[in-house]
Amino acid sequence: MIDKPLADTIALVTGAGRGIGAAAARALAARGAHVVLTARSSDELETVEDAIFAAGGSATIAPLDLTETDSIARLAAAVSDRWGKLDALVLNAARLGTLAAVPAIDQRELAQVLTLNVSAQAALIAAFDPLLRKSDAGKVIGLTSSVGRSPRAYWGMYGASKAAFETLLAAYGDEIENISKVRVAIVDPGATRTKMRARAYPGEDPQSVKPPEVVGERIAELVAAGFPVNHTERVAG
């Protein structure tokens, strides 16, 4: 039986409809957190919410497109009105885009990838920073990829977005280190059994890589145990 170290904790997970986001939401709820689930698909969110309720946890769904104008501001206002704080923000939502050589990158698609993977993440940090500061120990955990630090052929679009995302998170961590209790972590899940992974590696046996629950459990552990500012790690398995 898992203890409830996150009782009275409010956590928000983006991209919570499936994969790592869903697994993180379930793991956080199992430890007692009330989890706000966001993703574009209400059907997927309802499935995750049902699983959390069935396991004795609590959650609220908030279907939205993070790239739509004012969607993030509306979400932050709703969280503020209901709970007045945010204890954990898990930045998981991301778009892979088409794997292509840099000269062949479609500029419209590049803009779309950067909008979700970078601009929306900056907007989330800005919108929820005041609520994170109201927590006794606010935590921001961003999911990244090794291609953000080690460029790889045909991964230029996604890798560039993750490099920018990491820079944003690390800069934010430095900025708030000495003026708040908010702490920032960057987590590279490594090879994980997700739909994004299946798109990127269509010939791979999905059973050869770890399930998203391994990463979700690690995220919940970090939220429960805490970590130093600008903590980075790669999830083994």
Catalytic residues: 158
Task: Indicate the burial class of 84 (C-beta count within 10 angstroms; 0-12, 13-18, 19 or more).
Answer: exposed
b/e map of 38-56 (b: 16 or more CB within 10 Å)?
Answer: bbeeeebbeebbeebeeee
Tell me which residue of 204, 98, 201 sits closest to 158, measured CA to CA. Answer: 98
Q: Which residue has the tokens 């956080």?
A: 28
Q: d(Cα 9, Cα 113) in Å, to the nearest integer?
A: 31
Cβ atoms of residues 150 and 192 within 8 Å: no
Task: Indicate the burial class of 80 (C-beta count within 10 angstroms; 0-12, 13-18, 19 or more).
Answer: middle
Cα dihedral sign for 54, 22, 204, 187?
negative
Angle between helices 212-225 and 19-30 (to 10 degrees): 40
Q: Return the HEC string of 152-200.
A: CCCCHHHHHHHHHHHHHHHHHHHHHCCCCCCEEEEEECCCECCHHHHHH
